[in-house]
Amino acid sequence: MSVAWLTAVGASDIDTVGGKAASLGELTEHGLPIPDGFTVTAGAYRRFITETEIAEELFEAIDIDVEDSRALAEAEQQARKLILDAPWPDEIRSDVLSAFDDLGEDSVVAVRSSATAEDLPDASFAGQQDTYLNITREELLDRIKRCWASLFTQRALYYREEQGFDHAEVDIAVVVQRMVDADKSGVLFTSHPSTGERQLTVEAAWGLGEAVVSGSVSPDHYTYDRETDAVESVTVSTKKVMHVRDPETGETVETEVPEAKRDERVLSDDELHDLSEIGELVEEHYGEPQDVEWAISNGSIYLLQSRPITTIDAEAGDEGTKTAGTPDGQDDSVLVDGLGASPGTATGTVRVVGTLDQLDKVNQGDIIVTEMTTPDMVPAMKRAGALVTDEGGMTSHAAIVSRELGVPAVVGAETGTSTLTDDQLVSVDGDRGIVADGQQAPASDGDAESQQSAAGPSGPAAKPMTATDVKVNVSIPEAAERAASTGADGVGLLRMEHMVLSTNETPAHYVANHGEDAFVSSLVDGMRTVAEAFYPRPVRIRTLDAPTDEFRKLEGGEDEPAEHNPMLGYRGIRRSLDEPETFRLQLRAFQKLYEMGYDNVELMFPLVNDGEDVRRAREQMEAVGIDPDKRDWGAMVETPASALCAEDICEAGVDFVSFGTNDLTQYTLAVDRNNGTVADRYDELHPAVVRLMRETIATCRDHDVATSICGQAASNPKMIQELVDAGISSISVNVDAAHDAQREAKRVEQHLILESVRE
């Protein structure tokens, strides 16, 4: 059988028609709006390579060491040539053209690859085979061959080898569907791709969806609450270009969006409602959240593809959103993927940074590709158009700083530094966690505007009224203005260590070279920048908490102790108390700010274990002239010890405590949050962690001490629900999560009020 119509296939036919076609057949059978079409079966592909007698030579050509990049490139070229040069067997050719004619001789179609090992729960293979749009009868046979040949791209060969799939056993089918001449199109997730919340997320742009997935346009972004059946948020981007079918040539071309429509909202509330209903039907049919491509033509919605969202179970609550599969249109251009750690898109030139002395080669707008970042890389990160790291998760330095700077970032890409090369043009999508060939998304003078829109707010935002204060975390002073524009109630965490580490000298080395006053002034300058941006809103600044391995990389770091596990070592308040001279310099910076009139500054001590730690720190405050009874100050609860000693800490005189869930979770569960081997065990919502926080909140409320959370978990809606319900005073989230946190806090508070009225 060379051809199978979509109306006649379903989930049980993956071996015959591939994952994509099987999914489309399933949706067609259940009455969902799928464009008419058929599949050139996997059997037709197998017959083609057999009857043309190229099979043996084909599989010999790809029998290589995939770690040898030159051999990999040669294998792709040879396989492609064998397939494209081979003649069509008459019977298969006749079957395909006959099916096309049944669609209508003047039809224009989309031709999509559908591999038999594609869109599977444990190996999606998405983004590896080709798609062609606006194809005529004359072009059809050539495009089908090209889809077959795309089974042997370098990326596909490498991925199958890594996944343990036998190249000779993987077949490929091709979907041929009537082309939807879309007025608007995009992608939707039926549930939140990282938390699993019943929230529809939609990206939309004018014209064909290729513009959205290729990164050539910054799409509108919508969220729709499926529980309340209402639009939750709307972010309208400036959409300067769109992809359409050229009426003269029939080809897909990029054209400018008419001026009047560039800043116009693409989707109405009614269309979002309709998309939500259709998405719910798809999710209900498959029994799990779906990633769906859609298009609207003449007011009718069409579904072009659906696949499972594979990120929820693996990533919910601890890591970021790994791309759930690359939509068609950008398939062959994806070079590496990882976790989308900071939203937005950027196209630029790669600069692979292996050592700190290579940072000078990073120019404005370049794409930094590195194994991992350190605080001394921040100046270069400010210049960068985007960031790609091999290692790290959503709590890594790269992720946190990139979000605050508004720089798109993909972390945990694993092979970024080995796959990407200097001077290579790439496009980075920080929402979906992919790095693609930049030739398909060329930079333009207007890119900055659309990237800014995608990356975050650019002006003051209206804040929902909540009893729970919603604050933001700030790592570096340069991010203060952007953070303040969120309308947050203040800063729940400003990290002093980034100000120190950015000098590229340890405190002792800096003081020896420049003097104590210069050290204090450097801290005051950074702290004042944030205090000024937020005044009179409170700014909570944490004293130095840098592990020794970070200090060792700085000038003067050779004197740092070598520790087996620096996260459990000489850091936080324990180091400050052991080095009172340096500690007092930090505290002098606070006192100087108070003298300058910045009464919105609050002082916070990290990694305390008990009341004794707090009392000793209080003595140091008094030694530099800070009156603990007149200034707001507190401690972080980052260890089980500090949570269990909450009453003792309260009695030491603090005004607040703040949960650092990154450390509290890893210390409670004995899981290193930066160790990918055990990352699946890292769960900030583990009952033990939640219990420690709830009991601490209850103790603090008894002592009239405010409570806050400033760890990564504060951005998780489930954590917000837990802690607002427990009576927490404030939550502090990453800058990019501020608006969502404000809405979630308001929703939980309204629910609690409603429940109390009902009782």
Catalytic residue (choose from 221, 509, 710, 739): 710
In angstroms, the Cα distances linking 252 to 57, 146, 180, 672, 736 are: 35, 17, 12, 49, 35
Which residues on neighbouring strands pair with residue 637, listed in sequence order? 659
Give the type of residue at 473: N
Q: Where are the alpha helices (DSSP H) in 491-561?
A: 496-501, 507-514, 516-534, 548-551
Check the CA dihedral 640-642-648-650 and report its sign: negative
CA atoms within 13 A on the CB side of 349: 8
User: What CA–CA distance (Å, rounded) separates 167 from 157?
Assistant: 8
User: What CA–CA distance (Å, rounded) separates 104 from 91?
Assistant: 20
User: What CA–CA distance (Å, rounded) separates 679 from 681?
Assistant: 5
Closest residue by Cα to residue 748 from 610, 41, 410, 756: 756
Residue 232: φ, ψ to 5°: -95, -45
Is the CB of residue 313 less than 8 Å from the CB of residue 194?
Answer: no
Cβ count near 285 (within 10 Å):
16
Give the type of residue at 429: D
Is the CB of residue 492 less than 8 Å from the CB of residue 472?
Answer: yes
Is the CB of residue 673 less than 8 Å from the CB of residue 713?
Answer: no
Would residue 509 show up in a list of annotated catalytic residues for this protein?
no
Characterize the bridge pairing of strands 172-178 and 184-189: unpaired
Degrees, nearest 5: CA angle 210-213-215: 105
Is the CB of residue 437 less than 8 Å from the CB of residue 427?
Answer: yes
Characterize the bridge pairing of strands 345-353 and 367-370: parallel
User: What CA–CA distance (Å, rounded) separates 213 from 169?
Assistant: 30
Residues in the chain: 759
Could you give the 3-state DSSP secondary structure of residue 112? strand
DSSP 406-462: T--EEE--SSHHHH--TT-EEEEETTTTEEEEGGGS---TTHHHHHHHHH---S---
Which helix (H) or strand (E) segment is 392 a member of?
none
> Residues near 298 by Cβ (< 8 Å), separated by ≥ 6?
183
Is the CB of residue 493 less than 8 Å from the CB of residue 419?
Answer: no
Residue 667: φ, ψ to 5°: -75, -30
Specify the residue for token string 């100050």: 633
Catalytic residue (choose from 243, 397, 509, 739): 397
Would residue 397 show up in a list of annotated catalytic residues for this protein?
yes
User: What CA–CA distance (Å, rounded) separates 638 from 356?
Assistant: 31
User: What CA–CA distance (Å, rounded) separates 362 from 378?
Assistant: 12
Tell me which residues are annotated as active site: 397, 710
